Structure 1
Amino acid sequence: MLDQAGEICRRLDAGQRVVAATVVRVVGSAPRAVGSSFVVGSDGTVAGSVSGGCVESDLVERCRGVLDGGPAHVVSYGVGDELGEPGLTCGGTITVLVHDVTALPAGALHQVRRAAEGLDACVLLDAQGRSCTDDPLVTLRTPAAHPLLVVGAGEHAVALTRLAAGCGFAVTVLDQRPLFATKERFPDAYAVVRDWPGRWLAAHPLTASHAVAVLTHDQRVDVPTLTAALASPARYVGAMGSRATHARRVAALRAAGVGPEALARLRSPIGLDLGGSTPQEVALSVLAEVVMARHGATGRPLSTTTTPLHRG
């Protein structure tokens, strides 16, 4: 349920009732993890998923039944044996709680709003979809959104911010130019800051949860920004530019006193080798590398790996 917190809050704020179908148990291989949800508003609109589309049609009808006054209930889906029977194709089994989000008490709805704002949140639900404190059917938790600092407010930053925000990152855009660093250009950003990045970073230390993407091509910005970022515990630091730009940047960083161990952390040229060149394709390349680094993954095609597809 908390994975659809933003959608839930938008519907609640519009005066709608909302019913969610939330995965509470997974056995074997399944497309989505515990906590994944599918929501239906009283206006008939839907959002989210609990499978690859295998069981959502059945869940729409179940959610509509709860919207019409039916009780919350639990349903399980495995491999559908009967023709037309809803079921999974991946061989696993999921158990789903269909429940009325609107009926949750204020404390639980406050947690939903925390999740929508990118903050850590926790909700415990029983088998009737009620908030509880003891012996819950499922404990839903969401950590604070992963912070991504995007330095530079050009078109590549616009594309990266939009894509990263859609993937659950709390994006701060940092640029000293008032014409570019505006909320209108970055409506999906958690924050848009107009300041020289080096100065701002001196007052706002990065944490180990941070990823930093430097998308400028100005050494007056790049060198102090990367010097601060590489000295921080940030888990990912990348910088855009050609290989020639990278070589000049590394020389400038060495001259600024950045040591070889810190320089080895710099991912530049930024992103994975996907072959694209448009701002949107570059954004995909950068975000793919950020996600890969966060999970300690390889970036290899899944068709060449033998490890489980869905990590715990």
Structure 2
Amino acid sequence: MLDLADELNQWAEEGRDFAVATVVSVGGSAPRDPGAALAVDGHGTVIGSVSGGCVEGAVYELCVQALQDGHTVLERFGYSDEDAFAVGLTCGGVIDVLVTPVRADAPDGKVFAAALSAAARREAVAVARVVRGPAELLGGSLLVHADGSHDGKLGGSDGSYDGGLGGPHTDDGDDLPALDRTALAEARAMLDTGRTGTVEIAEDGSRCPGGVTLFVETRVPPPRMIVFGAVDFAAALVRAGRFLGYHVTVCDARPVFATRLRFPEADDIVVDWPHRYLRSTGTDGRTVLCVLTHDAKFDIPLLETALRLPVAFVGAMGSRRTHEDRDRRLREVGLTDAELARLRSPIGLDLGARTPEETALSIAAEIVAARRGGTGVPLTGSGTPIHRDVDGKEAAARTEAAA
């Protein structure tokens, strides 16, 4: 749906009713990725595509039917269908398409309108929808904003549905039903990395495969990871950053080292003094900065800038002796205790890492722990929760500071 945000926002502002078909999962050689959408309004106007032409006619009819009866449906199209060559994917793939009617005066219509408006303004936004589960929950939706907040008071199993996903209430005093709390945490996590896809949770809100499948659709550029220092460890960290969903930039002042040949998997390679590049490039509350140069002439001016930016993570490589010298130099240039407390140095968790790949894993693990509130200790015997509900307050503070 967010794939068509600009056009659908215009429809919503005009008060049109419409039905939107969204690809929620794919298998094999499918032509479009999850999130691809086709929409039909009450006049039969069509925008978008879910398959590049293979099943558009059948999806159009499903949208027309949804507008008439108001029912959300999940339909699978694939080569194995009996009518494969009539409405199936002759390329051999399989797609699941969620068809949802959007009525301007309905509670879920207001949720969708708010999501489309935010996406059209180029704001980061996520929409979680139930695609499989009990009939009373199918099509339920939840809107999550970039600061971690969500719109409105959500409904529950007592019949007070007003755009939430439903499910039993928790007994900890929180107004949100348990299923909604889990959906909110999952949507926030996917919004952080700009990912779109499905997640399975139980109806009681636990993160175990069970009775409910959510489709979480996001509209946001991927977060940035900037790796300063074109060293061997950086190549492994680039791969880890890409695996975690970051847009990875490598920056180094030495052109002989900062090359595409050495870093083929980096999204961007910049030859510039690190502190100068950091001052000129865009960062936000999701940006991760990894300083691998461990050379004072690069580190000090770079960290002086980095530790005063509202970014998510600042880490620097080096021995404990290097860290002590770095800390002294940073104090000499005027950094405060509060600013220095943001620096994670030596960077990485204690995994006993030796190789560049193991070191990259330790750094990536610390980034995840910092972003998700983890402790970094083994789960065995720890007694700590395996999953944590993300608190939107910290994200909101970072977003406000970045603005």
Q: TM-score, normalised by structure 2?
A: 0.47
**What per-residue deviation string (whole Å, max 9, x for no partner) do you get for residues 221-245 of structure 1?**
1011101110111121111001111
Give the Å deviation of 1:259. Answer: 1.4
Q: CA deviation at 1:147?
A: 1.7
In structure 2, C-alpha distance between the alignment counterparts of 1:152 and 1:17, rounded to whole Å? 39
Question: Helix, strand or coil for the counterpart of 2:225?
Answer: strand
Deviation at 1:180?
1.6
How many Å separate the matches in 1 of 2:348 and 2:310? 20
User: Which of 247, 251, 263 is the matching residue for 1:186?
Assistant: 263
In structure 2, the gaps of 5 or more residues are 1-22, 36-75, 85-92, 100-123, 133-138, 142-212, 390-403
TM-score (norm 1): 0.59
The aligned counterpart of 2:365 is: 288
Alignment-derived partner of residue 277 in structure 2: 200
Q: Deviations over 1:103-154 (max 9, x none)?
A: 99xxxxxxxxxxxxxx977797967xxxxxx878954323542321111111
Distance 1:240-1:135 versus aligned 2 partners, 3 A rule: closer
2:30·2:94 contact (CA, 8 Å) conserved in 1?
no
| Partner residue of 1:160 out of 228, 234, 237 | 237
Check 1:152–1:126 CA distance in 2 against 1; reply closer, same or farther (3 A cut). same
The answer as to 2:81 corresponding to 1:69 is yes
Determine helix, strand or coil for the equivalent of 1:303. coil
Give the conservation status (yes or no) of the 8 Å contact 1:237–1:267. Answer: yes
Aligned in 2, Cα 1:70/1:192: closer, same or farther, shift over 3 Å? farther
- Select 1:100's aligned residue among 84, 87, 95: 95
Structure 1 unaligned blocks of 5 or more: 23-63, 73-97, 105-118, 128-133
Provide, for residues 39-97 of structure 1, a one-character-per-residue CA deviation record: whole Å limited to 9, x for no partner: xxxxxxxxxxxxxxxxxxxxxxxxx993323589xxxxxxxxxxxxxxxxxxxxxxxxx
1:141 aligns with 2:217: yes
SS of corresponding position for 1:231: coil
Say whether residues 1:272 and 2:349 are aligned partners: yes
Distance 1:67 1:310, change over 3 A: farther
Q: Which residue of the partner structure matches residue 321 of structure 2?
A: 244
Q: 1:120 to 1:253 in 2, by over 3 A?
A: same
Structure of larger gyration radius: 2
Whole-angstrom CA distance in 2 between matches of 1:149 and 1:254: 24
The 2-side partners of 1:289 and 1:203 are apart by: 27
| Compared CA separation, residues 213 and 70, structure 1 to 2 (3 A) | farther
C-alpha contact 1:145 1:169 (8 A) present in aligned 2? yes
Q: Which amino acid aligns with 2:279?
A: A
Counterpart Cα distance in 2 of 1:280 and 1:300? 20
* 2:228 aligned with 1:215: no
Residue equivalent to 2:338: 261
Q: Distance in 2 between matches of 1:212 and 1:20?
A: 30
The equivalences for 1:49-68 within 5 A come to 66-68=78-80
Tell whether the 8 Å contact from 1:124 to 1:140 is kept in structure 2 after alignment. Answer: yes
| Change beyond 3 A, Cα 1:220–1:20 | closer
Measured at CA, do residues 65 and 234 of structure 1 come closer, stay the same or move farther in structure 2, by a change above 3 Å? closer
Is the CA contact 1:19–1:101 (under 8 Å) kept in the aligned structure 2? Answer: no
Post-superposition offset of 1:197: 0.8
Q: Is the 8 A contact 1:17 1:67 kept in 2?
A: no
Q: 1:228 to 1:205 in 2, by over 3 A?
A: farther
Is residue 2:302 matched to residue 1:302? no
Aligned partners of 2:307 and 2:342 also within 8 Å:
yes
Distance in structure 2 (CA, Å) of the matches to 1:18 and 1:241: 46
In 2, distance between residues paired with 1:307 and 1:138? 26
- Preserved CA contact (<8 Å) 1:20 1:101: no
The two structures, once aligned, show a CA RMSD in angstroms of 3.8
1:228 matched to 2:305? The reply is: yes
Distance 1:184 1:245, change over 3 A: same
Say if 1:294 and 1:126 are closer, same or farther in 2 by CA, change over 3 A: closer
Give a deviation string over 1:253-294, Cα, whole Å, max 9, x none: 111111111111111111111001111111111111011000
Task: Indicate conservation of the 8 Å contact 2:77/2:96, yes or no.
Answer: no
Letter of the 2:292 counterpart: L
Alignment of 1:80-95 (within 5 A): none
Question: For the residues of structure 2 that align with 1:197 and 1:18, how far apart are their CA atoms?
Answer: 41
CA contact (8 A) 1:215 1:239 kept: yes
1:143-202 superposed Cα distances (whole Å, 9 cap, x missing partner): 542321111111100000111211212211111111221223222222111111111112
